Amino acid sequence: MSLIRILLVDDHPIVREGYRRLLGGQPGMAVVAEAGDGRAALAAFLEHAPDIVLMDLSMPGTGGLPALEAILARDPQARAIVVSMHQGAIFAQRAIAAGARGFISKSSPPEELVRAIDTVMAGRRVLSSDMAQEIAHTSLSGDEVATLTPREREILTMLARGMNGRSIARSLGLSSKTVQNNLSQIRAKLNASGDADLVLKAQRAGLAEAP
């Protein structure tokens, strides 16, 4: 089994120590670098090329979302999970829209973070159970599914299965702009606030398996 190399980004050393102890005790996982702010996170990512970035949102200087966007600008395939004290659904939606593969609240059980890393490494997106419950009311009805064209339904299904816009475009032989236009139309038709909302709606409608 290949080693999952992890970059920890959090401005609290005690929090990072907790992550290090938890993940260091997991078979197949290793913390290879740490950073206390967004600028240091980008430098550590470029130096160590980790498999997973665990990113806090609220940090002094460059915050978590700008740091995530900077990392993805250098490597669009980078895998990041936001781990935050913020528990409102809007924070999860913003993180997913910025390119995070998952959102785990810091109040989640430690084993949920370990499972989230495995889930993202398997190519799927993940929300902690409390976040999933927070947005559970945004379920997608059969009537709403019926408003989608076959192409829109296909793109929504691929998004819910963890593919980003560029991957969807490549798989379907479309331009990235065409895929983004379709996603905008899907969001409008389903009254979705963002990609995280779309993923939850699709999973609850049975278009993709929920993690």
pLDDT tens, 52-110?
999 998 887 778 889 999 999 999 999 999 998 876 667 777 788 788 999 998 888 89
Q: What is the pLDDT of residue 138?
A: 47
The DSSP line for 50-64 is -SEEEE-S--SSS-H
Do residues 22 and 48 lie in contact, with contact meaning Cβ atoms separated by under 8 Å?
A: no
Do residues 124 and 81 lie in contact, with contact meaning Cβ atoms separated by under 8 Å?
A: no
Closest alpha carbon to 107 in 128, 123, 92:
128
For the cut 70, the answer to whether the pLDDT of residue 209 exceeds it is no
More confident residue, 161 or 51: 51
Do residues 65 and 53 lie in contact, with contact meaning Cβ atoms separated by under 8 Å?
A: no
Q: Which two tokens stand for residue 77?
A: 């395939």
For the cut 90, the answer to whether the pLDDT of residue 120 exceeds it is yes
Please, what is the angle between helix 150-160 and helix 165-172, to 10°?
A: 130
For the cut 70, the answer to whether the pLDDT of residue 211 exceeds it is no
- DSSP label of 33: E
- DSSP label of 154: H
Walk me through the domains of the chain, giving residue ranges and CATH numbers.
4-134 (3.40.50.2300), 142-204 (1.10.10.10)
State the number of CA atoms in the 13 A half-sphere of 81 facing the CB: 29
pLDDT, tens digit, for every residue of 136-193? 544 555 556 667 888 888 899 888 888 888 899 999 999 999 999 999 999 888 888 7
More confident residue, 28 or 98: 28
Of the ranges 33-42, 120-129, 143-152, 198-207, the best mean pLDDT one: 33-42
The pairs formed by 83-87 with CB atoms below 8 angstroms and a separation of 24 or more are 83/10, 83/54, 83/55, 83/56, 83/113, 84/56, 84/57, 84/58, 85/58, 86/57, 86/58, 87/130, 87/131, 87/134
More confident residue, 136 or 199: 199
Model confidence band, residue 114 (pLDDT cutoffs 50, 70, 90) = very high
Residue 172's CB: how many other CB atoms inside 10 A? Answer: 15
Q: What is the pLDDT of residue 189?
A: 85
Distance CA 15, CA 21 (A): 10
Q: What is the pLDDT of residue 39?
A: 92
More confident residue, 208 or 81: 81
